[in-house]
Structure 1
Amino acid sequence: MSLRDDVNRFPFWYHRIELPGGVVTPGSAPVDAAAYKVPADLSGKRVLDVGAWDGYWSFEALKRGASQVVAIDDFSDRLGLLKEGDRRAWATFDFCRDALGYDATRCQRTEMSVYDVSEKQLGRFDVVFFFGTLYHLRHPLLALERLAAVTDDLLCIETAILDDYSVYRGGLGKGYGGSEVVMEFYVGKEYGDNDTNWWVPNLNCLTRMTVAAGFPYVTGWKLKNHPTQLPDCRGFSQGRRRPEPTAASQSH
């Protein structure tokens, strides 16, 4: 059986991952990997990937030179549409890890809630990826504080945002894109027909939350300036403990 046949045995893929031999898993995420602005060089960095799912960003960190990646997930999100058995825990992650040739020491994974992240459990990290997860949490600021407690340098966040879409204002084109600092709460399936979506901030709120978690140097941006569909209404925040080194400072 070919690698492509093996890929097709899984009922669902979230990530689009390039495997050897030109095989690509049939996922839809990330929509635009370049928009995440993950540093191109992660040489020697220890990276935590929160909500890793199939592992796209775990493997991407290793491709960029990370010395070790720890992936965590609690498998609680089924996108509002998957059946109970469609998310097969770490099966797709392990499949891709083996196909890409990464060993389980350099590329670790463990089932864990973000609220349980601690230095005692996992150690410390230079870089933390927190992608596609914040809006699934009942306590988003608590999660950011848990991650801040183990992050030495850079926290990268990607999440749904309200700048161009608001459930309560009337949908697409009716968000909070100005100076407001806003977060909406959903008790059911109001956002994206998914009952695991709890809170969505606008970008201004997201960057302020990053500062509040302990990262004074923050940049934020949108996936697309003029989104035409809900999946494109996404935002990013990068929080640093120290100012990002400039080209001039790196040359000395």
Structure 2
Amino acid sequence: MQSTLLPPLPEHWFHSFVFPDGVRADGVKPLTSLLEEADLIFPNRLDGRRVLDIGAWDGFFSFQAEQRGAAEVLATDHFCWSGQGWGDKRGFDHAHARFGSKVRSLDLDVADHRVEDLGQFDTVLLLGVLYHVTDPYRTLEAAAAMSSDHLVIETVTALRHEPVPAMRLFTELELDQDATNFWAPNILALREMCRRFGYSRFQVLPEGLDNQGWRRWVMPFRDKNRYRRAIFHAWR
């Protein structure tokens, strides 16, 4: 029986969890996939680092950062937590309580993150956010400004055949029948934007998505997997 001390359970979970007491939450995204992704997002321990998770939703990666040694974690969201989508903040609050977490949370839209208000963070996560915004350049610029060292982007990518930085605008409902999906960059576009925002070293996972111009023949335009997701790391 659910404890009355716990926040209410959400109607829907996006992230999946196994809590310390063995209780499971099975969301849209399977736990095995989330754990594999977490290992790519956090290749090393986070001991002593400040971490900002922008667009945290149920908070899986916020809690992973805490469990992997981060000294401080701030989880932010607005679209999901305000109920504009099909989720809300109940999943985060419930998981927070079950983990006995010290992760801080703040209802804040992506564009409203400001260094003068929050300070800078060692690692900033922008996971599953970039393709949901109408102005990805300004969104990425705002996230980059919050990071003093390391920025991690997880996003849908497209136009891998193009030898120049490019971004694809989806027609309505084209991607996953979701009207909130707007843009998909190629890796060269992510590199160029991050270079402009002061980053100098990059890594993309899986590495096959790193579309240097001479590799474009490997990834033809009509590849059925042309909208592959990527995890993109940028360091100052």
TM-score range, shorter chain: 0.7 to 0.9
Counterpart CA distance in 2 for 1:46 and 1:136 is 25
Q: CA deviation digits over 1:34-81, x for unaligned, max 9?
A: 563413310111100011000000000000111111111112599xxx
Structure 1 pair 119/40, CA: closer, same or farther in 2 (3 Å)? same
Of 74, 81, 84, 1:70 maps to 74
Q: Which letter does structure 2 place at the counterpart of 1:156?
A: V
Unaligned residue ranges in structure 2 (runs of 5+): 210-218
Counterpart CA distance in 1 for 2:176 and 2:184 is 11
TM-aligned CA deviation for residue 221 of structure 1:
2.5
Q: CA deviation digits over 1:67-125, x for unaligned, max 9?
A: 111111112599xxxx968412x21111111100113xxx1111111111111221110
RMSD of Structure 2 on Structure 1 (CA): 3.0
Q: 1:17 maps to what in 2?
A: 17
Q: Is the 8 A contact 2:169 2:183 kept in 1?
A: yes
Equivalent positions of 1:1-252 (< 5 A) are 1-2=1-2, 9-29=9-29, 31=33, 32-34=36-38, 36-75=40-79, 86-88=86-88, 90-103=89-102, 107-162=103-158, 176-177=160-161, 179-222=163-206, 233-241=228-236
Q: Is the 8 A contact 2:144 2:194 kept in 1?
A: no
TM-aligned CA deviation for residue 7 of structure 1:
10
Q: CA deviation digits over 1:13-44, x for unaligned, max 9?
A: 11112212322321233733256341331011
Q: Is the 8 A contact 1:184 1:200 kept in 2?
A: yes
TM-aligned CA deviation for residue 234 of structure 1:
0.3
TM-aligned CA deviation for residue 8 of structure 1:
9.8
Q: Which letter does structure 2 place at the counterpart of 1:101?
A: G
Partner of 1:205: helix, strand, or coil? helix
Q: Is the 8 A contact 1:161 1:203 kept in 2?
A: yes
Counterpart CA distance in 2 for 1:199 and 1:51 is 17
Aligned identity (percent) is: 31
Alignment: residue pair count? 218
Q: Which letter does structure 2 place at the counterpart of 1:41?
A: R
Partner of 1:130: helix, strand, or coil? strand
